[in-house]
Structure 1
Amino acid sequence: MELGISTFVETTPDVVTGKTMSHAERLREVVEEIVLADQVGLDVYGVGEHHRPDFAASSPAVVMAAAASLTGRIRLTSAVMILSSADPVRVYQDFATLDGLSNGRAEIMVGRGSFVESFPLFGCDLQDYESLFDEKLDLLMKLQQSERVTWEGRHRPAIHNLGIYPRPVQNPLPVWIASAGSPESAVRSGTLGLPFALAMIGPVRPLDFASQVKLYKEAAAAAGHDHAKLPVAAHAHGFVAESTPKAIEQFFPSTFARTNVRAVEKNLPPYTRADYDAAVRPEGALFVGDPRTVADKIIQLRKEVGITRFLLHVPHGTMAHAEVMESIRLLGTEVAPLVREEIARWEEKQ
């Protein structure tokens, strides 16, 4: 059972002062967070790609490369790369470079992206949303499998027996598919035999994702893959503090502000305190509380949904750096041991 952190490197206005920190300052904070996550024994840190003013990480591989030489064991992954609007060759080269700098700790997590700013930025047509992802995933898989590649598609110039460099330390370089819960993504991932990550965000019940994992494993088995060896990850917003009331109150202001920005953008109903209070309950989508509360929620997710990796997305919106660092510390030193010990006992009985 792996535990870690994910971030979009938010640079939203501070809910108290109204000020917005620079992208440069937030990027430096994230490097400190990755280093701390490594020090407290977390397994993985993920950085998501965005191309808008309220997020600073347009290049996850570069952010993580800054932390690679400062860390020793934590795995470094995108969370996610918007593959549809990217060049798979460049994505592979960037993460192969990160893999070398980190001595074999890089991973690529790809998705279609719920944010679409990258499509016009890189000259991609949103009308091709589905076909772009399918085609570019096919090329990325070819790059993963062979040093020299011959490939032809519709959206990108063909490649004729060309070498792709640098070569990664890991062979193959791990590639994950991430999804917000579409059955099609579960089946695609299973059929390809790729690790699968679920974004448990919004007004959802995390335990309901068991059906997606079931679809994924059935598709993997039907394609001849050993689904028992395929990892499944979950990503959810959350926050850990010394007490559950403290965690709930610290995490609310930025979550309320950030979620309502998205509600306006997507023409959704306003987010309320009642919505938040429902989400922090045991069955809700926010993993907020003291170490025991958060651990119990992760343990239940492992037992009932079947995940083998959990990424706590913190912060959601802009929070004080000290608060974020303390949440990471508690996740590594208190939550992770509780989860690992309980899951080890549970697995012995299976």
Structure 2
Amino acid sequence: MAPLEFGLDTFGDITRDESGLRTGAQVIRDTLEEGILADQVGVDYFGLGEHHRPDFAISAPEPLLGALLARTGRIKGGTSVTVLSSDDPIRLFQRFSTLNAIAPGRAELTIGRGSFTESFPLFGYDMADYEDLFREKSNLLHRLLTEEKVSFEGRFTPKLSGVTVWPRPEAPITVWRGVGGSPQSVVEAAAAGMPLMLAIIGGDPARFAPFVDLYRRTHAQIGTPVLPVGVHSLGHIAPTDAEAREEFFEGYRKMHENIGRTRGWSRLTREAYEAEITHGALHIGSPETVARKIAKTVKALGLSRFTMKYHTGAQDYRSNLRNIELYGTQVIPRVRALLAG
């Protein structure tokens, strides 16, 4: 099992201050400073999600990743996740080859089908092709990553005949496969030689153990070494459990309500919220409480990386910096101590 890494990620949720909601441009600038702080306090990875909605500021992660990687010297940066179905694999390969030239070995990519679908009509794709788009584009990306001269033809891809795409990466680009709950995706990740990133945003994380087992059994059956497994979950840290629960609830409730209108979600009650903290995937509380829950998740699934989405909904932007500092200076050392003990 690879050494345990600790990450943070964000979708650039629109935050607020004493004047109200902050602009998307300000949130992007805030996010850059948050990533720099994460590097300073010892976080291993900083991820940026791609969305095309008014409640999230980050639609193009790579320019922001470039700024972060150029201003830091240690932390890895990547996407959480890239919606490959509505992207161009060739341009994506070029963007990450460029990022890896800026920061060798530190630019990572996580691909997935995406749980939000706004990018499909925005870029002229039909939702009826949801599965076919991802299958074809992931096949092309795999070829680009493993072959210098690529020949390829598909339904959505112009014919390529022995094409070399520039710039060439000096070292392999790490590409994770983001999975929400599909066994087929788990098998595909193992077959493609991609580390597995499980998005666990509800329910007991231990229920994902069969997915991890399937991933490792697939590697064993095809005779390839098992690659890292990571988890992305939501979290919020404050000096006390009560403060953390109170600070997080209202922004989380509004986000749940906003997204739930189009997905048929039931109204989030305070009781359900508290139950999700106690028994589910929300890592919310004091540094000690959050550390113990992360350690439990890591042990249950045998993880190589745990990544916490450190703000959700219209939280006060100042709490993001405190979240990051507590995570790096108190939570990470405590989790390592708990696992060692």
TM-score normalised by the chain length of structure 2: 0.95
- Find the counterpart in structure 2 of residue 148 from structure 1: 149
Q: Could you tell me which residue of structure 2 aligns to residue 303 of structure 1?
A: 299
Q: Return the alpha-carbon distance in structure 2 between the equivalents of residues 15 and 221 of structure 1.
A: 51
The answer to whether 1:199 aligns with 2:193 is: no
Residues 223-266 of structure 1: CA deviation (Å, up to 9, x unaligned): 21112xx1011011111111111111111111111111111121
AA aligned opposite 1:114: S
2:109 counterpart letter in structure 1: I
Q: Equivalent residue for 1:5?
A: 8
**What amino acid is the match of 1:292?**
E
Q: Which runs of 4+ in 1 moved over 6 A?
A: none
Q: Report the AA paired with residue 141 of structure 1.
A: H
In structure 1, C-alpha distance between the alignment counterparts of 2:193 and 2:219, rounded to whole Å: 6
Tell whether 2:90 aligns with 1:89.
yes
Q: Give the Å deviation of 1:66.
A: 1.5
Q: C-alpha distance in 1, partners of 2:326/2:310?
A: 12
Trace 1:1-350 onto structure 2 (pairs within 5 A). Answer: 1-11=4-14, 14=16, 19-170=20-171, 172-202=172-202, 204-227=203-226, 230-281=227-278, 283-343=279-339, 345=340
The question of whether the paired residues in 1 share the 8 Å contact of 2:49 and 2:82 is answered with yes
Q: CA deviation at 1:159?
A: 1.5
Report the aligned-residue RMSD: 1.5
Shift, 1:116, TM fit: 0.5
Task: Give yes or no for contact 2:142–2:192 (8 Å, CA) kept in 1.
Answer: no
Aligned partners of 2:292 and 2:338 also within 8 Å: no
What secondary structure does 1:280 align onto? helix
The offset of 1:104, in angstroms, is: 2.3
How far, CA to CA, are the matches of 1:335 and 1:168 in structure 2?
35
> 1:341 Cα shift?
3.0
C-alpha distance after superposition, 1:9-54 (max 9, x if no partner)? 0126x4986x332111000000001000000000001101111111
Q: Which amino acid aligns with 2:8?
A: I
CA distance in 2, matches of 1:339, 1:146: 40
Partner Cα distance (2:300, 2:291) in 1: 14
Unaligned runs of 5+ in 2: none
**In structure 2, what is the Cα distance between the partners aligned to 1:266 and 1:98?**
35
What letter corresponds to residue 175 of structure 2 in structure 1? V
Contact residue 81 and residue 109 of structure 1 kept, 8 A: yes
1:159-189 CA distances to partner (integer Å, 9 max, x unpaired)? 221221222242x201111011111111111
Q: TM-score of the superposition, structure 1-length normalised?
A: 0.93
What is the rounded CA distance, in whole Å, between the counterparts of 2:135 and 2:110 in structure 1?
15
Residue 210 of structure 1 aligns with an amino acid whose one-letter code is A
